[in-house]
Amino acid sequence: MSEPLGRAGVTEFSVSGMNCQNCARKVSAAAQAVPGVASVTVALDTARVAVRWFPNVTPATDASLRALNSAGFPAQVLRPSTLDTRPSPWSPLVG
């Protein structure tokens, strides 16, 4: 699969079924287990995962999708045109 990178060295996924911090932890662990992954950022509020790849590594999006699906969280790669770059309205300061 060709790599749809939204930012240099980062692949973003939309993930279904994440509804708590424990789910987010499981998603992070599944994505981090894929060879070549440098770091994983999970956004529970938007149900998105950003996978940052090590330099000089071919991103393994298919392996990432399999890992997330095997963990019980259906996922799909977000194409750069589908990435919402607007800041989140959520704030820990608003009660």
| pLDDT band for position 89 (cuts 50, 70, 90) | low
Report residue 8's pLDDT band, with 50, 70 and 90 as the boundaries: low
Tell me the average pLDDT across 20-42. 96
- Binned at pLDDT 50, 70 and 90, residue 4 comes out as very low
Sheet holding 48-53, edge to edge: 37-43, 48-53, 10-15, 75-77
Q: Which pLDDT belongs to residue 50?
A: 95
Helix (H) or strand (E) holding 22: helix 21-32
Q: Per-residue pLDDT for 29 more than 80?
A: yes
